[in-house]
Every structure is written in C-alpha cells, then in structure tokens.
A and B are shown apart, each in its own frame.
Chain A
Amino acid sequence: MFLKVLSISFMLIGFFFFTTATIGLLRFPDFFCRLHATGKGDTLAVLLSLIGLAIYHGFCLASLKIISIAVFYFVAQPTATHAIARAALRCGVKPWAKGEERR
C-alpha cells in the first residue's frame, strides 16, 4: 500500500514538471530561455516518472530495465540540448535583454 502511494506521488510530481516545462516552452520571450525550460524540466520529469513506474512494478528484471532507460536518458538529453545551444551560438542568435520585444 505504501509502495503504491509512493509511486503515484512520484508520477504526479513528474506530470507537474512536464506541465511547467511545456508552459515555459510556449511563453518565454527568447530562444535560449525556452531551451532552459525544455532541457532541464523534461529531463527531471522523465526521471521521476520512470522511477515511479519502476517502484510500482516491484523488484524484478523489468524494473531494472526501466531504470537503465532512465539513466541513459539522464545523460543523453542534456548532451542534445548542449548541441542545439552550440548550433544557435554559431548561427548568431543574440541573447535577450530586459525591455526588448519578444522574439
């Protein structure tokens, strides 16, 4: 019973982080700010959701495979975000200062 409550709470917190990351992707005024939102928020949300699912399933081989997907994703997604940010810097995207208009 306690394990079920723990896994439901993990998944609800993960869903909350997904929602705030998507709202940030839509509402922030600049490209680099949006990259912050989706890079950090999505990675943490996936980590928490997969840990919640692994706890719900119990302690068997399938849970270890779900944890390995989470570990792979925890290393790969920030690398992809870093690659996108580097490409933007090389292409000449300028950061946003307070007082300018949205772009």
Chain B
Amino acid sequence: MTRATDDVIIKTVSRIFTPFIQIFALYVIMHGHHSPGGGFQGGVILGASFILLVITQGLDKTRRRFSQKLDTIFCSIGLLIYSGIGILCLILGGNYLDYSKLNKILPVIAAEARSLGILGIEIGVGIGVMAVMYSIFSDIVTGGE
C-alpha cells in the first residue's frame, strides 16, 4: 500500500479535496462547544486526510511533506499544550484544570476564562490525535520499519 496509484483521476481528485477536508476538520475542532465535534473528532478527520494522501500519492512523497521527526514533535506538542494549561492553573492557585484562575493573566472575567481554557485543550488534543493516527498508520503499512 505504499506505492502511489497510477491513475490520473484518483490522484487529481484527492489532491483537490485534501485542503477542504483539513479546513473542515479545523471547523469541527473550533465548534466543539456548540455542535457535535471537539478535539478528538477533529483530530481523527485531520489524520484521515493524511491517510488519503498516503494511499494516493505514495508514502515517499507524503514523508517529504510530513516527516517522521516532525510527527514526533507534533505528538509531544499536543500533550504539552494539554498538560501545560493544567499545570498553569495549578501554579496560579487552583486545582488541576481549574480554568477560572486563568483570569489572573488574561484580561477577561472568570466565565470567559473557562471557555478559553476548554478551547485551548481541545486544540492540544486535536494536534496529538492527528500525529498519533499518522504514526500508527505509517507503522502498520511499512511492516514495522
């Protein structure tokens, strides 16, 4: 499954549709509090767009755009954002993930600080899930290299 398809139609259509799928995934992450969605669902759609690139363009071309080293860095950045916001709330004097204490560093009221805190950890979860899905898929498809 690592070679590209040798068909013009499938290659062109997947190249046209990948940016729209990624923008839709960002929309799903951002509107998590208002409609079905959130961090995990948007991360899965982002990972699925990269899987579409692998099965139509080939693994080498996709690795040139999104290397394994960058993948590992994104995995760690996602977890860092999630835990970082939690520990920041701890430092500012509340419980772990107690977002209302964030109004000491941001110029907003306590209720709005809660909303911004939830948005922050949704972004972290989305980035982490995308990186893990891409890593698991490229691991299975190359047979464990």
Binding site for B on A (CB under 8 A): 72, 75-76, 79, 82-83, 86
Contact = CB atoms under 8 A, between A and B. Distances in A.
B66 interface: no
Interface in B1-17: 7, 9-10, 13, 17
Contacts of A72: 17, 20
Q: Which 10 A-B pairs rank lowest in CB-CB distance, beginning with the nearest?
A: A79-B13, A82-B9, A83-B10, A79-B10, A79-B9, A86-B7, A75-B13, A82-B10, A76-B17, A76-B13
Interface string B12-43: 01000100100000000000000000000000
Contacts of A83: 7, 10
Interface of B: 7, 9-10, 13, 17, 20
Nearest to B7: A86
B84 to A, nearest CB: 35
Contacts of B13: 75-76, 79
Nearest to B20: A72
Contacts of B20: 72
5 contacts: A72-B17, A75-B17, A79-B9, A79-B10, A83-B10
A35 to B, nearest CB: 15
A76 to B, nearest CB: 7
A83 B20 CA distance: 21
A76 B21 CA distance: 12
B72 to A, nearest CB: 32
Given A76-B13, A79-B13, 11 more contacts: A72-B17, A72-B20, A75-B13, A75-B17, A76-B17, A79-B10, A82-B7, A82-B9, A82-B10, A83-B10, A86-B7
Nearest to B16: A75
A102 B6 CA distance: 32
B31 to A, nearest CB: 12
Contacts of A86: 7
A86 B9 CA distance: 11
